[in-house]
Structure 1
Amino acid sequence: MSAPPPVLLMADDRPTSFTRYAAENLPDNLVLLRFSNASKDLPETYLRQTAHLPAFWVREHVPLEEEAARYRAWADELPVPPSRFCNPSEPRQAVAQRFAGLAGLPHLTECQVRWVRDKEAMKQRFRELGLDTARYERVSTVAEVETFAELVGWPVVLKPVDSFACVDTFRISEPGALSAADLGTRTWLVEEHLQGTEWEVCALIHRGEVLDAWPSAMPCRPLDIVDGAMNANISVPTDEGPPFDLRAMLQRIATGMEIDHGYVHMEFFVVGDKVYASEIGVRLAGCEITANHGHAYGFDVFGATLDVYQGRRPGLEYTDRRCVGDLLLPLPDSGTVLRISSTEELLRLPGVIDAALHVSVGDQVAARRASHNASGYVHVAAGSIAEVEVRMRGVLDAFAIEVATPAHGAEAAKR
């Protein structure tokens, strides 16, 4: 008789397709780790949907050592306490991994967290492993940014060392564009703006081995997306993918960073015949990129991901090879949603195989400058990158959303 699957402790700070999948498919083998200072990001509907699962809340302003001790006593009262850990959250990487270590669960070390969160340490490690990167420098003043730009050429990219989803990431095109107030007291990384094509690649790692690598094309760069360009990623299991051994590149990184298991998501640039490593995260990809791979290759990608976090080797048996992308639907303003296209309307559009809306008429919404800002998403399938992109632009032409901003409401009241 085979041993029962281990119970997994999963950090849960916002609803995602992956956390919803885990809640549905591991009803007896999943425990949720939640943080009280993230409660605002967990809607009541999601809390009701996951109410059947045991959940431990880490209290704010309490030493993590005390909370881990309280967790261990709490977990001992469960039928089977968790023996494995999964953190799909990028911003909580440091605290979640430290908590897992204090709880006696498999986790990333403090050094590994620096490699996958601190962009300077990350790029330094890439270079130590023999990978090319854009030129970069840690900065804290406007003068340091401008001195660097004069060395490598304008424009440059400026980002906090621990940023994600392009939050507070900017392309600086000329001297005088920054002030000391813009930088505040944070620590920043400035880097060379690379030309060429930006790509993404995801992979699963089991016992230190990269099992496979799945590339994604980006019709528009993330820095253009946060300024209004089409927000999309396209999984490419065809010969249109970049002509490099991506699995070997990721294996070099996994070995060099001593990553034993997990899902990794990486961005890189192809400039001529060279690859430049950009950034890597040991967690699921943002937006709906992970789901793209499942649709494109025809396999249960979320189930395979849960396998590696439970210490099991997944069977990667693909049944399809087509290009499938996620298109994030725009959320143009903050305010009250007056009108939005329905999922039924979206599913009737050419190539759309799945659709979900995050907001409904009457909801209060807050738009923000981030690459995951959206009112919903669709998955679009076709035989090539170009055909998927054409169909995505058709979706954007057909999609309608109207948001009443506070200013709009004030004007309506005057009339």
Structure 2
Amino acid sequence: MVDDRPSSFTRYAVRALPGGLVLLRFEGLRHDLPEGYLRRTAHLPAFWVREGVPLEVEVRRYERWAGRLPARPSRFCNPSEPRQGVAQRFAALAGLPHLTERQVAWVRDKTAMKDRFRQLGLRTARYARVRSARDVERFAGRYGWPVVLKPVDSFACVDTHRLTGPGAPAGLDFGARRWMVEEHLGGTEWEVCGLIHAGEVLDAWPSAMPCRPLDIVDGAMNANISVGSGEGPPVDLRALLQRVVTGMGIDHGYAHMEFFVVGGEVYAGEIGVRLAGCEIPANHGHAYGFDVFGATLDVYLGRRPVLDYRERRCAGDLLLPLPRSGTVRRITPREELLRIPGVIDAVLKVGVGEPVAARRASHNASGYVHVAGASIGEVESRMRKVLDVFTIEVAPA
């Protein structure tokens, strides 16, 4: 399993597969793996891919290394969005289950993705590849402002901007990456996740977003709410996901898709074939009362999971603010957060005296809480009460 940052899923897999998990790590990302996490996973075999060395060379080195293990890995899981290309190529060279180069383009390159959506008969926002601010202005001249400008391989809204008029954001270099522009859609933005086994979408779980991702990176409440109460969008979500999964030839895994409902019509946004970001998968477990991470491991291990739901409610993750980089002076204790009505779990990622680095990304946070309730509205109201209580002081570096 690719391990490029600690996550709830990787921690679950470490516990669930103590003798059957091998970690694939990348030397260039060592700084993303905290020393404490490295110590806690030191008992597991981990292969480090060296930076600047041809991948074919590293796979040959991996083959020799894996030959000394008690059992050679036969399954593969990549939970990482930014590592999709290199991770799937590594798996292909190593003879492990993988996405093809074409499939990686469909789930990673947003223009190729939207091309494929349209080939499958789905509506999308109008879009175009661009190489200059002038290209953006020509697009807006045809379809109107505002528009959304983003790298074709962005994730978590990193380097994604809503533009309301001519002029590129400060510091943007069109020559450094491949860019696209698309029209800004109104309506309601939703998310849907699902598990895939043998090409079949086993079920689909909708999520509501109190605030849109582009508003989140500008300071709006950062939350997702899994809707197990039946309040979801008037869309056959399983059929929607199945159309995309079949059209992209996806055999197994976890799919996360964003879409818009505008005037009763569905517009496909983006899809990822990997676990959803933030704590969205855990939300589904809390909303439906089942072991979502165990079910996810099953599909990556080639097993059909039993989706035994024991709950039907709404449950969401609220990411706690991280206002700026510096040193934490004060932060609301976990115990105080757990006393707030509806809060069923709380995790603080930072503590007093620790250095922190804030960034403009939808996963920027000092921690998170899980909040449950009978409806979307009740969960959102309880989340706002959490924000009223939570405080964090960060002294400038």
TM range (shorter): over 0.9
Q: Which amino acid aligns with 1:146?
A: E
Match of 2:124 in 1: 133
Q: How far apart, in 1, do the equivalents of 2:98 and 2:249 lie?
A: 12
Q: Is the 8 A contact 1:142 1:180 kept in 2?
A: no
Alpha-carbon RMSD across the aligned residues, in angstroms, is: 1.0
Q: Which stretches of structure 1, 4 residues or more, deviate above 6 A after TM superposition?
A: none
Counterpart check, 1:77 vs 2:68: yes
Q: Is the 8 A contact 2:133 2:168 kept in 1?
A: no
Q: How far apart, in 2, do the equivalents of 1:139 and 1:325 lie?
A: 36
User: Could you report, residue by residue, the CA deviation over 1:216-272 in whole angstroms, capped at 9, with x for unpaired residues?
Assistant: 000000000000000000000122100110100110111110000000101000001
Matching residue within 352, 358, 361 for 2:343: 352
Match of 1:301 in 2: 292
Q: How far apart, in 1, do the equivalents of 2:228 and 2:72 lie?
A: 39
Q: How far apart, in 2, do the equivalents of 1:42 and 1:179 lie?
A: 31
Give matches, 1:226-237, under 5 Å: 226-237=217-228
Post-superposition shift, 1:388? 0.4
Q: How far apart, in 2, do the equivalents of 1:168 and 1:103 lie?
A: 33
Post-superposition shift, 1:187? 1.5
Post-superposition shift, 1:182? 4.7
Counterpart check, 1:100 vs 2:104: no
Match of 1:313 in 2: 304
Match of 2:27 in 1: 36
Q: Which amino acid aligns with 2:200?
A: E
TM-score, normalised via structure 1 length: 0.94
Q: Which amino acid aligns with 2:86?
A: V
Match of 1:59 in 2: 50
SS in structure 1 at match of 2:318: strand
Flag the 1:396–1:179 CA change in 2: closer, same or farther, 3 A.
Answer: closer
Matching residue within 154, 157, 169 for 2:145: 154
Counterpart check, 1:283 vs 2:274: yes
Post-superposition shift, 1:298? 0.2
Match of 1:267 in 2: 258
Match of 1:328 in 2: 319
Q: How far apart, in 2, do the equivalents of 1:377 and 1:128 lie?
A: 39
Matching residue within 118, 129, 141 for 2:109: 118
Post-superposition shift, 1:76? 1.1
- Quick one: percent identity of the two aligned structures? 76
SS in structure 1 at match of 2:22: strand
Q: How far apart, in 1, do the equivalents of 2:62 and 2:33 lie?
A: 20
User: Could you report, residue by residue, the CA deviation over 1:68-123 in whole angstroms, capped at 9, with x for unpaired residues?
Assistant: 01111111111111100000000000000000011110000000000000000000
Give matches, 1:1-40, under 5 Å: 10-40=1-31
Matching residue within 344, 353, 356 for 1:362: 353
User: Could you report, residue by residue, the CA deviation over 1:172-196 in whole angstroms, capped at 9, with x for unpaired residues?
Assistant: 0012355785534321110010000
Counterpart check, 1:203 vs 2:197: no
Q: How far apart, in 2, do the equivalents of 1:342 and 1:268 lie?
A: 36
Q: Is the 8 A contact 1:11 1:33 kept in 2?
A: yes
TM-score, normalised via structure 2 length: 0.99
Counterpart check, 1:292 vs 2:283: yes
Ranges in structure 2 where 5+ consecutive residues have no aligned partner:
none
Q: Is the 8 A contact 1:142 1:179 kept in 2?
A: no
SS in structure 2 at match of 1:101: helix
Q: How far apart, in 1, do the equivalents of 2:337 and 2:118 lie?
A: 45
SS in structure 1 at match of 2:76: strand
Q: Which amino acid aligns with 2:290?
A: F
Matched length: 397
* More deviation, 339-348/375-384: 339-348
Q: Is the 8 A contact 1:141 1:183 kept in 2?
A: yes
